[in-house]
Structure 1
Amino acid sequence: MLLPRDLLLLPWRRATAAGEAIARRLNHHRAPPFSDPDDDPPFTRLAERPPRAPSKKKKKEEEDQGGRIRPPEPASSDLPFDFRYSYSETDPAWRPIGFREPTRFSPFGPGRLDRPWDGVAAAAARGEGAGAAATSREEVLGEPLAEEEVAQLVERYRHSDCSRQINLGKGGVTHNMIDDIHNHWKRAEAVRIKCLGVPTLDMDNICFHLEDKTGGKVIYRNINILILYRGRNYDPKQRPQIPLMLWKPLAPIYPRLVQNVADGLTFEKTKELRNTGLNSSPLMKLTRNGVYVNVVDRVREAFKTVEVVRLDCSHVGSSDCKKIGVKLRDLVPCVPLLFKDEQIILWRGKVKQENSVSLQFSPEPS
């Protein structure tokens, strides 16, 4: 029986024909048992190459080193001060009561510094290095700048679009920042430093540590902007060697900042002062990473009329709130009573009360 021509071209017939073509093509590439050895069909397994012999240069280096790689020698520095993570935000007089990490873990790395790390600082060798450092600093600074030279440097570096700028945050004057300043001094006479956050409460402290640790001189100061000059005789090739910290060490554990009962008061009186401060209107509202240069003066002025002051530190962070309280305690001075819900309650202290009473009832001199 003969089928029509259209039935021969049905889809199932075309699929079968295509399958047969593919099968013939695969059978064509399949190597028969007695095929030509020169034939190279696809997916042929290549012979494994033998491993390469070590180069003569590498072998010679291993022989010179005794067959093992020696660790680098620990770095040494002639700087006369102790190495700390932050110089402006820590006080050597504060002694911690505990540590959050083992003290054997130095932030400079294992075996990379010849100074022992005690969990807070890497102490320098005590000697006569301080006097020599002061003499060398005076030699590097040279003659004082004239007013025209200062005005020229200030005009060049005081603008916000200055490329030679370093941002100083809540960490204050950190150890690695000293190296950054010297790196800028390679190609620039001065560097612009923009200060933000908690360190701006005490700008005098920042200026002191910048000049003391770098050897430069602050020639311009406007609110939170500083310009640090390197000196007339500064030579980048003779800059001090500053080992870098590889990570930020965990802060030690210090005694409690706020006691349950304030000194000189009873528990009921302390509780009453805390409630009074929480219910009073805030003196100021501080922002995160703001400029706090006028906070100390405002608190001192407020303590002339009121006994308790509240500072609103919403969105500042609990850590920064405690740092602000510590600085105000030493700068005003005052007594922190409470840190709650990012609110700081400060008491002017019993000494302030006694002084005000004595001045009020003291007889006038005749």
Structure 2
Amino acid sequence: MLLPRKLLQWRRPTQTAQFLAGRFLRSSPSFSDSDDDPPFTRIPKRPPRAPSTPPPPPPKPKASVGKIRPDEPAHSDLPFDFRYSYSETDPAWRPIGFREPIRFSPFGPGRLDRPWDGTAAARVGEGDGGGERSREEVLGKPLSEEEVAALVEKYRHSDCSRQINLGKGGVTHNMLDDIHNHWKRAEAVRIKCLGVPTLDMDNICFHLEDKTGGKVIYRNINVIILYRGRNYDPQRRPTIPLMLWKPLAPIYPRLVPNVAEGLTFEETKELRNRGLNSPPLTKLTRNGVYVNVVDKVREAFKTVEVVRLDCSHVGTSDCKKIGVKLRDLVPCVPILFKDEQIILWRGKVHQEHSVSAQCSSTPQ
């Protein structure tokens, strides 16, 4: 049985409690309806204090980008046609096609006053014929042996800061500008040659002297020191417009025919098989130094008819370039490029020369 809950008697607040509550309300600040917003943060009455750090300056306007097509095309008085490579191409080679439209000049649209024909930018007008005399004036008095020795000792070391690396492109057009840039602060520049161009170092020296106007004062294996001349003035250096990109190589006729000239198909096949089964004369490495390869091939052709060169890891493109240079320098006939192997045949012309030499040396 539930008993009735006893109700507690309500007590009236005492006079002391009412006095304390009234005193607290009188001391607290009065809030109006406009600035009392319980659900949100109270709006401050004073404005925010200014930051101590100054505001960042306004951004500068962007510099105007240079025009792709200048108002006037550049002009150069250099007395030769502009090509991508001077030492690795021959003006006598006639391409049978192009891999890109010839209207796209590697110098940029409207940036050169020489028309581009796919392989070269021919000079406009005739030369004045004084290029050789001006080169002699720039070179000045020949260097003495002591001066040459001092320059060689200064620039021949591998840690020389005035060095240009010459690769498989050979003497390229933009390299001419690099050489003149070094000549601003140095009397000579060290050129280190690697790859296919080292097969013919004489050709490299000729084009360096012919295109820059300098003089080769030192040559050791694949290292060349090019001297600028006594009277060289950097302020009067020639204008060399730069190529903006490397043009695609044209399409040339096939290097190796199915049947070698002067032979039948069976004889050509037999020579190719004999070359593949023969030991390699030498092994070429990628970006190596091939200075002695021509002499080795000429010496080998005195005893054998077919020579094999092992070009593993050299690359198909470099193999064909090596074959073209050996064809002209030895001379010989490339009859096969397969699996980075080059098979060279000395040809019937070599045999005829050797037979005639033996006949002339034999006493009657």
User: TM-score when scaled to structure 2?
Assistant: 0.82
* 1:16-165 to 2 correspondences below 5 Å: 27-29=39-41, 71-129=70-128, 131-165=129-163
Q: Which amino acid aligns with 1:231?
A: G
The answer to whether the aligner puts 1:349 opposite 2:347 as a matched pair is yes
C-alpha separation in 1, matches of 2:356 and 2:69: 72
Does the CA contact (< 8 Å) of 1:287 and 1:315 recur in 2? yes
Does the CA contact (< 8 Å) of 2:82 and 2:122 recur in 1? yes
Q: Which one has a bigger Cα radius of gyration?
A: 2
Counterpart in 2 of 1:185? 183
The CA deviation at 1:133 is 1.4
Counterpart in 2 of 1:175? 173
The CA deviation at 1:73 is 1.4
Q: Give the SS at the match of 2:334.
A: strand
C-alpha separation in 2, matches of 1:280 and 1:96: 34
Does the CA contact (< 8 Å) of 2:68 and 2:109 recur in 1? no
Does the CA contact (< 8 Å) of 1:80 and 1:125 recur in 2? no
Does the CA contact (< 8 Å) of 1:193 and 1:226 recur in 2? yes
Q: Which amino acid aligns with 2:159?
A: D
The CA deviation at 1:123 is 0.2
> Identity across aligned pairs (percent)?
82
Q: Which amino acid aligns with 2:181?
A: N
C-alpha separation in 2, matches of 1:161 and 1:70: 41
Residue correspondences, number: 314
Structure 1 segments (4+ residues) deviating >6 Å: 36-41
Deviations 1:186-205 (A, max 9, x none): 00000000000000000000
Does the CA contact (< 8 Å) of 2:70 and 2:111 recur in 1? no
* 1:136-285 to 2 correspondences below 5 Å: 136-285=134-283
C-alpha separation in 1, matches of 2:154 and 2:194: 22
The CA deviation at 1:132 is 1.4
Q: Which amino acid aligns with 1:311?
A: L
Does the CA contact (< 8 Å) of 2:166 and 2:194 recur in 1? yes
Does the CA contact (< 8 Å) of 1:172 and 1:199 recur in 2? yes
C-alpha separation in 1, matches of 2:38 and 2:264: 98
Q: Which amino acid aligns with 1:101?
A: E
The CA deviation at 1:116 is 0.4
User: TM-score when scaled to structure 1?
Assistant: 0.81
Q: Which amino acid aligns with 2:116?
A: W
Change in Cα spacing, 1:128 to 1:38, as seen in structure 2 (3 Å) is: same
Change in Cα spacing, 1:70 to 1:89, as seen in structure 2 (3 Å) is: closer
C-alpha separation in 2, matches of 1:293 and 1:166: 19
Q: Which amino acid aligns with 1:76?
A: H
Does the CA contact (< 8 Å) of 2:88 and 2:169 recur in 1? yes
Q: Which runs of 5+ in 2 are unaligned?
A: 1-36, 49-57
C-alpha separation in 2, matches of 1:83 and 1:198: 21
Counterpart in 1 of 2:15? none
Change in Cα spacing, 1:40 to 1:153, as seen in structure 2 (3 Å) is: same
C-alpha separation in 2, matches of 1:136 and 1:311: 45
Change in Cα spacing, 1:276 to 1:26, as seen in structure 2 (3 Å) is: farther
Q: Which amino acid aligns with 1:326?
A: V
The CA deviation at 1:320 is 0.2
Counterpart in 2 of 1:46? none
Q: Per residue, is there more helix in 1 or in 2? A: 1
Q: Which runs of 5+ in 1 are unaligned?
A: 1-24, 42-51, 62-67
